[in-house]
Structure 1
Amino acid sequence: MWFVPSVLQGWGLVGAIVVVCGVWQLLRAERFRAYRFLGVAFLLVVAAFAIGGGRTGYGAGAYPMVIAAGCVALTTMRGRWLRIAAGPVVVVSVVAAVVYTTPWRAASEFSPAANRAAALGPSVYSEGGWAELTAATVSAYRMLPATQRGDAVVVTQWYVQAAALDHDREAAGLPAVFSPNRGFGYFGTPPDTARTVVYVGSDEQQLSRWFASVSPVGRMDYRLGIPGITRDVTLWACTGPRQDWSAQWPRMRNL
């Protein structure tokens, strides 16, 4: 149920006030009667992702409508209390923005993230490590025998790893990049001719389900990286897929 407080924290104090005001207006104000369903839809979306353990960005499509309603309502309000409250709210929001969103601390002052949940999202933990991930993958790929590199592909445990590697793939000289994780698993299937894989992440036991041979060929451990994504990551050379990719890939895909 961390979804709701995380959403409010992400919006900041002013944003939270606007959203709460917008929901209230959509549900209660007579002038918004025709749009009352939008307030109900917003609450249902937030409730669905909060109960289901979704991320704050999943319901982003429902936010603009309540923000718009809140802005309309606040601009038409009059009264001394509004002028008195506006000053402190703006000051607190500015201070919060400076403290929490600007790089005023050196990276050396941060400790490694305790877990992946604490490191995901906009933070110092997601800013670095991507170039190092590419370098580690290139090194692992070049360690393969020349006879295997010709039909090799890169597969990653997490979709964010695949996205980062695919972005730099041509410049780095990497082969095609795939991932069975989330939507990336539907972007493409490794060709059946790919008998060798540089697998980024996962573990030997899991990979042995899919490949006849699995051996570690590299390590990625960026100090302020995301655990399991850019920190504490093993790279593997996997050969001999147990089935053709066209049959195996649908079973490997995961959400």
Structure 2
Amino acid sequence: MKKNNTLLYTLALLRIIIPYLLQHPVYEPHRDEFLYLAEGHHLAFGFMEVPPMLSIFAWLTNLFGGGMFWVKLWPSLFGAATFIVAGKIIQSLGGKSFALILLFLSFLFGAYLRMFFLFQPNAPEIFFWTLIAFSFIRFVQTEKNKWLYVFGISVGLGMLSKYSVAFYTVSILLALLFTKHRIVFFNKHFWYASLIGFLIFLPNIIWQWQNHFPVIVHMNELQQTQLQYINPAGFLTDQLLLMFPCFFVWLTGLFNALSSKQYRFIGLAYLFVIILLLMGHGKSYYAAGVYPPLFAFGATALEKFTATQRKYLRYAFVIFAVGFGLFVVPILLPVLPPQPLADLYVKMNIAKTGTLKWEDLKDHSLPQDFADMQGWEEMAQKVAKAYHALDDSERQNTVIFCNNYGMAGAINYYARKYNLPEAYSDNASFLYWLPTSLQIENFILVSDDPDEKQHDFAKGFTSVTKTDSITNKFAREKGDYIYVFIGADDNFRKFFKQKIEKDKAEFKY
């Protein structure tokens, strides 16, 4: 066991280090990372898009200077912690070294390579899903009530990381009802633990109530703009593609869990999650948290299957995982600068996989996530150039305003470097942080609209100039413009105040 622990923790450390070595340093934070980093400057018990947990790590990142090392450290740590918990499941099932190696390959060559390197709520969410499964596995194995409290705390903290933790909580409880383990519902400690979980989550519920439940409005908007277009067949196909190099591991785990009277609830929980996400038109990666326990079960089963006879299959498993894994690594992380990476995709004929298709349903040179990691510092530089071109008196009452949260987050991220004031936006949680009492004399606007000067509100200024644009051809923000509006009148100030009040009112349920 001690030897296996050494291997487990060594592989977990490698899981932290390897993505740092793979991603090319030319790439900047992702647009969503800028939003979550901004939340670290506005700590609260909730935000429009997500619960508050990630903002704590954003606050720490900002405290330590906001460098890329710190931005990427927290998701990497959650990835290592998830790997350790899944490894503990393997050990509890009697698995040894080869099972841990299969588990490691599953974490390295699949969607987790990216998901545990992006500073997004997915990383803690997957960890808490896994910890919920582990708590019930250990309760079944030991019948010790302490594991029920681990469950309650995991649910409470998980709901503070991402609301979709509720999907797995509901699914695993439903699964228990369909097995002999339904007796847990007659255990008073289960209900005490559930109460603890609720109390942990309660501050966010109160915040949602005080802010008129913006999460409901946000989810309705997401359903209307994105989720309704999710293809169920595509969703199911993606479940194989997301973890393709090691798909045989989790499929084996699913089969073994469903075949086991003791652990059937793990397999049933997977099925219930998939059904719930299909009903809700969930995105493919929403199910990512359900796979670590299946990888653990599958890795253990394959190790036992090849323990005495069929040892040659172990080589086949590793060769298959590594062979296909090396193929997908350049798709999961940007391992080369944009142009060489785009050239590699052409040689690999990656377009056929759909990886290069963006939300506009068109193929591009790079995946959308990688395009979302470029052009931001160029934007901050050009905004700074426009801002510092103003004289001292003009700068005093100049507001920098951006049309989306990525723009505003990026400018604020680079603000210290380029000596810029805070940038504002009415998009996402930035809307909450936007004061309606801004004293606007001049206006620097970052927008993707080439015709901003033609809109009625532009008449409220004495002059409007389009000063520059984003030229990085690989950036999703390519073509965004920087406008300078000089000399706002009272009509514009009234228009701006009314617009912000109206926008905020729309996010009340």
Give the TM-score normalised by the residue count of structure 2.
Answer: 0.40
Tell me whether 4-13 or 167-176 shows the greater mean CA deviation. Answer: 4-13
Cα distance change of structure 1 residues 137 and 68 upon mapping to structure 2, 3 Å threshold: same
Distance 2:480 2:241 in 1: 30
Identify the match of residue 225 of structure 1 among 468, 475, 479: 475
TM-superposed deviation, 1:135: 0.5
Pairing 1:150-229 to 2, within 5 Å after superposition: 150-186=396-432, 188-195=433-440, 196-203=442-449, 204=451, 208=455, 212-213=460-461, 215-226=465-476, 229=477
TM-superposed deviation, 1:134: 0.8
Cα distance change of structure 1 residues 167 and 160 upon mapping to structure 2, 3 Å threshold: same
The residue type paired with residue 425 of structure 2 is S
| CA shift digits 1:211-254 (9 cap, x unpaired) | 5345423222112211xx2x11111234434142652552798x
| CA shift digits 1:29-86 (9 cap, x unpaired) | 433233455314431454256x36x4x55x2xx4233322232233123143953640
Corresponding position of 1:137:
383
Corresponding position of 2:299:
74
Aligned 8 A contact 2:256 2:297 in 1: no
The residue type paired with residue 501 of structure 2 is A
Tell me whether 128-137 or 5-14 shows the greater mean CA deviation. Answer: 5-14
Give the TM-score normalised by the residue count of structure 1.
Answer: 0.72
The reply to whether residue 247 of structure 1 matches residue 501 of structure 2 is yes
SS in 2 for 1:244: helix
Corresponding position of 1:86:
317
Identify the match of residue 274 of structure 2 among 43, 52, 69: 43
TM-superposed deviation, 1:189: 0.8
Cα distance change of structure 1 residues 115 and 93 upon mapping to structure 2, 3 Å threshold: closer
Cα distance change of structure 1 residues 21 and 76 upon mapping to structure 2, 3 Å threshold: closer
SS in 2 for 1:237: strand
Aligned 8 A contact 1:198 1:236 in 2: yes
Distance 1:208 1:70 in 2: 55
The residue type paired with residue 473 of structure 2 is R
The residue type paired with residue 90 of structure 1 is A
SS in 2 for 1:128: coil
Corresponding position of 1:147:
393
Cα distance change of structure 1 residues 10 and 82 upon mapping to structure 2, 3 Å threshold: same
Tell me whether 68-77 or 101-110 shows the greater mean CA deviation. Answer: 101-110
| CA shift digits 1:143-171 (9 cap, x unpaired) | 44543321222222221222211111122
Corresponding position of 2:339:
107
Tell me whether 96-105 or 234-243 shows the greater mean CA deviation. Answer: 96-105
Aligned 8 A contact 1:25 1:70 in 2: no
Aligned 8 A contact 1:165 1:177 in 2: yes
TM-superposed deviation, 1:138: 0.8
Distance 2:288 2:357 in 1: 30
Corresponding position of 1:63:
288
The residue type paired with residue 75 of structure 1 is T
Q: Percent identity?
A: 15
Aligned 8 A contact 2:252 2:297 in 1: no
Aligned 8 A contact 2:245 2:322 in 1: no
Cα distance change of structure 1 residues 217 and 8 upon mapping to structure 2, 3 Å threshold: farther
Aligned 8 A contact 1:158 1:179 in 2: yes
SS in 2 for 1:31: coil
Distance 2:294 2:327 in 1: 24
Tell me whether 71-80 or 204-213 shows the greater mean CA deviation. Answer: 204-213
CA RMSD of aligned residues (A): 3.7
- Number of equivalenced pairs: 240
Aligned 8 A contact 2:254 2:267 in 1: no
Q: Which runs of 5+ in 1 are unaligned?
A: none
Tell me whether 235-244 or 27-36 shows the greater mean CA deviation. Answer: 27-36
Distance 1:139 1:3 in 2: 45
Cα distance change of structure 1 residues 149 and 23 upon mapping to structure 2, 3 Å threshold: farther
Pairing 1:113-128 to 2, within 5 Å after superposition: 118=364, 119=366, 121-123=368-370, 125-128=371-374
Larger strand share, 1 or 2:
1
| CA shift digits 1:83-123 (9 cap, x unpaired) | 36404422323431455446357726748x89665455543
Aligned 8 A contact 1:215 1:236 in 2: yes
| CA shift digits 1:6-37 (9 cap, x unpaired) | 565444421x4444445555555433233455
Aligned 8 A contact 2:401 2:445 in 1: yes
SS in 2 for 1:224: coil
Q: Which runs of 5+ in 2 are unaligned?
A: 1-230, 344-355
Larger helix share, 1 or 2:
2
